[in-house]
Amino acid sequence: MTRNQKIKLYLFLFLLTAAAFFAILFPRLTLPFGFAYIIFLMSKPLTLWLTTGTRKQRLGYFFLVLLGTGFLFFPVIATMYSADFSSLTDQFPHAQRALQEKFFAFKVMVFERSGFRLNVDPVGLVMGKIETHGTDLLSSFPNYLSLLLEWVVLVPIFLYFFFMESRQFSRRLLEAIPNPIFEKSYVLFSQFNTKFGEYIIAKFIEATILGTIVTIGLLSIGFPYPFLLGFIAGVTNILPYLGPVLGILPALAVAFLAKDPSVSMVGMLAVFALANLIDMILVFPLLVSKIVNLHPIVVIVSIIVGSQLAGVVGMIVVIPFVAFFKLLFKEIYKDLSVQL
């Protein structure tokens, strides 16, 4: 490698590192940028359909930006304001009372059988903490609202940029890649984009199918809050392995606290078991497993690492990143084995 080439390569690596630092330092820009990028990748099949064969590309892109923004905010807002949610928040004091009654009965039973008097009040402690967190959440609500408004403005702008300028931008970026690493970087970057987009679409479809099955199932057995619980089950299902466990917890709590005898714990468990069975046997093997192809242990460890690094977002996006690094290491290993 000549001196000029070396300088080019180091400069490029330096710029790449600087960009990574910038991304870490300014999460308020990076997160909406990343979110817009995810929506852009997800809408690629639709983009192709909308913009091929017609010259009205701008209109197509504008429509996609609207669709993407609506898709981003509508489910959250709709669920927040749904009757289920307001009904559940109204039920909080009743739930607290019901839990205290159940714990009191348990204390009496322990005293009668063993003569031991339980002097702890875990229910009061937990409920107190929930109330404190709730108050904290309410007091910081203006901050969340301003953040949401920021996202409402930034995400469509970034999306429009991706739709209109991404090709020219990526072309300029590719031109800056030094020759010795160009071919490999370009192909790996393209593969990552494809894998990431496919994974997000697959997980979204999987979550929608599971959420729908749970909602229909709970509706048919007359279980309370079917839409909210179905939505939670769908969203949590985005997390592999841990998702199904997290998704059933709210439904378990509702069934445990319900006084109405028509609320069936067994029926609810059967609905969740059926939904997860369909997911495991049909949806996951057909949609997701071919895209990631990672060992279950690797997936679980990745989720834990992802959650430590970037919270819930980290838990969701870590899998395609790990799949990409697997691909990268395989390529490096192949090259090394040829050189040795």
Partner 1 sequence: MSYEKDMLERIERGEQVNDRLDIPLLRYLWDASPLSFITSRESYHDFFKRITVLSSFSDNEIRLFTKFLHHRDFQTNEVIFKQGDSGYGFYFIFSGAVNVYANQAGSSGEIGEFVIKLEKCQYFGEMGLLEEFNRRSATAIAAENTILLGIFKPDLDRMLEQYPVLGAKFLRETALIMANRMGQLTREIVALKKRVRELDLKA
Residues that bind partner 1 (CB under 8 A): 2, 4-5, 48, 52-56, 174-175, 179-180, 182-184, 186-187, 190-191, 331, 334-335, 338-339
Q: How far is Cα 105 from Cα 135, in angstroms, rounded to an integer?
A: 30
83 or 174: whose CB is closer to partner 1? Answer: 174
Cβ neighbour number for residue 84 with a 10 Å cutoff: 17
CB 186 within 8 A of CB 177: yes
Q: What is the 3-state secondary structure (H, E, C) of 190-242?
A: HHHHHHHHHHHHHHHHHHHHHHHHHHHHHHHCCCCCHHHHHHHHHHHCCCCCH
Q: Closest CB to partner 1 among 49 and 141?
A: 49
The label of the residue with tokens 């469509």 reads 156
Minimum CB separation of residue 260 from partner 1 in Å reads: 54
Residue 187 or 280 with smaller CB distance to partner 1:
187
Compare residues 80 and 174 and give the one whose CB is closer to partner 1. Answer: 174
Whole-number Å distance between alpha carbons of 312 and 92: 25
Identify the CA nearest to 28 among candidates 124, 178, 199, 153: 153
Nearest CB to partner 1, comparing residues 143 and 339 = 339
In angstroms, what is the minimal distance from the CB of 151 to partner 1? 30
d(CA 337, CA 139): 59
CB of 139 to partner 1, least distance (A): 49
Q: CA dist 317 to 35, 255, 333, Å?
A: 11, 32, 25
Structure tokens at 207: 């979550």
Q: Which is nearer to partner 1, 6 or 133 (CB)?
A: 6
Q: Position 132: which residue type?
A: T
Tell me how crowded residue 128 is: count the other CB atoms within 10 A of its CB. 12
